Chain A
């Protein structure tokens, strides 16, 4: 288990504020945040590249903070994989074992096993310069895993790959993590990527962890408008609340909340229903006009004008077109409001 307590640090351009995080054995956690949020810096603090100004990092109860990177046994796969260009694939994978002065035949057998596990026998004698993005990633993972690290840190491991390969490699990462039953901490800025691989997600912004939870928890109860926006709640508005109703522009929604005055409101597009034949019986039923339609593989993304623009997903067989009149229903439970 890794536990980060009140970690703070200032590197000039980047800074971390009071980071608290706990990841259990066998858990895959993704740190998700926009560029410049401090995700990579957090990883660098965990590896020991930088010493924090405040706070501690505990791995299995042992304080890592005063230790050098070589004393921590924490695996690290950087964004560009950083394969040593002067060593071939086999030697790259063997590097950590040789650093531990392991006997040669033992190094050979571990490396051979790792190469076979990652299915990269065909490239084992190649130099890193002659590898594709996916191959590089496999080698970097192999190099980090041979030393059986206490946890593995992955800094945007899929960002350099094309979309098809990304899905495949995400699946492979997940398989590998279950295989070794280790702690994987994965940093990325793509919500889809995080959703693909994680047991839990930590949302980070401006050097702080904003929210930690499972995918479902974050989707259903984002802590604030930033988190809601980051997990693709496409409908985010300024509103005024009286505690029972929300007013967005001239439209009033029924939604009980604990705020009075200015609030932020988020409504996920998949939580807005299209009422057939205009016969809605619930609350928050509004007529609207289709302004734009985008056809996607499993649904249509419709921009509906209801006094203000709303993004709605339609999974029905009917395809709407620009100018159609439709009626939408937003159940009060599906409206999230946050302190402005």
Chain B
């Protein structure tokens, strides 16, 4: 017992030191004058020549002032809203699917299992390409023509689809493992005692699986937020598109002319705005770190609420 306590303490010490170091170091890098660290005057001049927007120079003046740019807030808003929608869809569809795969004898169950497991080892770019092919040919293309709008290169539902694939696969792996670990005998006994299938799930399986379900939700959330290649391939960037390309609804939601944060990091670095890119990356690190911390707390406590 004391050995367990000791190892838990050591793990906590390691975790907090590592997370603390990452945070302090990231903050230091960001808050210090990055122009002086990474970018020489000559490079700034070069960048001014090669940059592709009239507001580049304003951005170059940022050394910690990224919050003044609406692009940053719109991108963050877009990413958080889409990630929330993705996580919600993944949870609503994934939890019952994982339960069914874990409990019932379903034909082709192993095929579905292999499919989801193999998705997890596939790079996002492959997922992106597959989505482009899927949605630009065949029945899904016909469906889009019928509906009158295109899924690819759209915020709704393009970004949701692109971020959902891996988010769903990661969430599913956690939820299925959780349901697999809850002995089905509990439900069988509960039903023999007069409980309906739903009551048996609600009173026995769910309380035993809730920390695993919550872990799966956080995993789905973090994976969706960290998605990059699939979103970039399937949806591209939106910043440079004219305002007329965005619907009033998108504008109302403050998501027009904004990018998925991880895509924005790439775009900013690609166009020479290293500071801006790093600022966005720092925000992602903070959100990711917080999510992993919450997941660790749930895992450590074994319960959520």
- Measured between alpha carbons, how far is A20 from B195 in the docked complex, in Å? 29
| Nearest B residue to A69, CB-CB | B191
- Measured between alpha carbons, how far is A100 from B197 in the docked complex, in Å? 14
Contact B185 A78 (CB under 8 A): yes
Residues of B with C-beta under 8 A to A75: 192
Whether B190 sits at the interface, judged by CB under 8 Å, is yes
Contact B208 A82 (CB under 8 A): no
- Measured between alpha carbons, how far is A82 from B191 in the docked complex, in Å? 12
Determine which of B185, B197, B203, B207 lies in contact with A82 in the assembled complex, contact meaning CB atoms within 8 Å.
B185
Whether B148 sits at the interface, judged by CB under 8 Å, is no
Whether A70 sits at the interface, judged by CB under 8 Å, is yes
Residues of B with C-beta under 8 A to A76: 188-189, 192
Whether A73 sits at the interface, judged by CB under 8 Å, is yes
- Measured between alpha carbons, how far is A211 from B104 in the docked complex, in Å? 34
Contact B193 A147 (CB under 8 A): yes
| Chain A contacts with B in 21-78, Cβ cutoff 8 A | 44, 47-49, 68-70, 72-76, 78
CB distance from B72 to the nearest CB of A (A): 45
Whether A269 sits at the interface, judged by CB under 8 Å, is no
Residues of B with C-beta under 8 A to A261: none
Determine which of A78, A84, A96 lies in contact with B194 in the assembled complex, contact meaning CB atoms within 8 Å.
A96
Interface size of B by CB at 8 A reads: 18
Q: How large is the interface on A (under 10, 10 to 19, 20 to 34, 35 or more residues)?
A: 20 to 34
CB distance from A57 to the nearest CB of B (A): 14
Contact B183 A147 (CB under 8 A): no
- Measured between alpha carbons, how far is A99 from B196 in the docked complex, in Å? 8
- Measured between alpha carbons, how far is A72 from B189 in the docked complex, in Å? 12
Whether B63 sits at the interface, judged by CB under 8 Å, is no
Whether B204 sits at the interface, judged by CB under 8 Å, is yes
Residues of A with C-beta under 8 A to B190: 84, 95, 99
- Measured between alpha carbons, how far is A44 from B188 in the docked complex, in Å? 9
| Chain B contacts with A in 160-193, Cβ cutoff 8 A | 183, 185-186, 188-193
**Contacts known (A80-B185, A99-B190); A70 close to B195, Cβ less than 8 A:** yes
Residues of A with C-beta under 8 A to B239: none
- Measured between alpha carbons, how far is A86 from B190 in the docked complex, in Å? 13
**Contacts known (A82-B183, A86-B204, A99-B199); A49 close to B194, Cβ less than 8 A:** no
CB distance from B305 to the nearest CB of A (A): 13
Whether A243 sits at the interface, judged by CB under 8 Å, is no
- Measured between alpha carbons, how far is A121 from B192 in the docked complex, in Å? 25
| Nearest A residue to B199, CB-CB | A99
Contact B199 A49 (CB under 8 A): no
Whether A115 sits at the interface, judged by CB under 8 Å, is no
Residues of A with C-beta under 8 A to B199: 99
| Chain B contacts with A in 230-251, Cβ cutoff 8 A | none
Of A69, A73, A85, A144, the most chain B CB neighbours within 10 A belong to A69
Whether A186 sits at the interface, judged by CB under 8 Å, is no
Determine which of A48, A78, A96 lies in contact with B193 in the assembled complex, contact meaning CB atoms within 8 Å.
A96
Contact A74 B204 (CB under 8 A): no
Contact A99 B192 (CB under 8 A): no
Residues of B with C-beta under 8 A to A44: 188
Contact indicator per residue, chain A 78-114, by CB within 8 Å of chain B (1) or not (0): 1010101110000000011001100000000000000
- Measured between alpha carbons, how far is A78 from B203 in the docked complex, in Å? 19
- Measured between alpha carbons, how far is A48 from B208 in the docked complex, in Å? 24
Contact B188 A100 (CB under 8 A): no
| Nearest B residue to A74, CB-CB | B192
Contact B188 A86 (CB under 8 A): no
Contact A95 B193 (CB under 8 A): yes
Residues of A with C-beta under 8 A to B194: 70, 73, 96, 99-100, 147
Whether A143 sits at the interface, judged by CB under 8 Å, is yes
Contact B189 A82 (CB under 8 A): yes
CB distance from A138 to the nearest CB of B (A): 16
Contact B208 A86 (CB under 8 A): yes
Residues of B with C-beta under 8 A to A95: 190, 193, 195, 203
**Contacts known (A70-B196, A73-B194, A99-B199); A78 close to B207, Cβ less than 8 A:** no
CB distance from A203 to the nearest CB of B (A): 26
CB distance from B203 to the nearest CB of A (A): 8
Contact indicator per residue, chain A 198-222, by CB within 8 Å of chain B (1) or not (0): 0000000000000000000000000
CB distance from A228 to the nearest CB of B (A): 34
Residues of B with C-beta under 8 A to A143: 189, 193
Residues of A with C-beta under 8 A to B203: 84, 95
Contact B192 A84 (CB under 8 A): no
Chain A contacts to B: CB under 8 angstroms: 44, 47-49, 68-70, 72-76, 78, 80, 82, 84-86, 95-96, 99-100, 143-144, 147
Additional A-B contact list (14), CB under 8 Å, known A69-B192, A75-B192 = A47-B192, A68-B191, A70-B196, A76-B189, A80-B185, A82-B183, A82-B186, A82-B189, A84-B190, A84-B203, A84-B204, A99-B190, A99-B199, A147-B193
- Between A and B, 13 residue pairs with Cβ closer than 8 Å are A44-B188, A68-B191, A69-B191, A69-B192, A70-B192, A70-B194, A75-B192, A78-B188, A80-B183, A95-B195, A100-B194, A144-B193, A147-B194
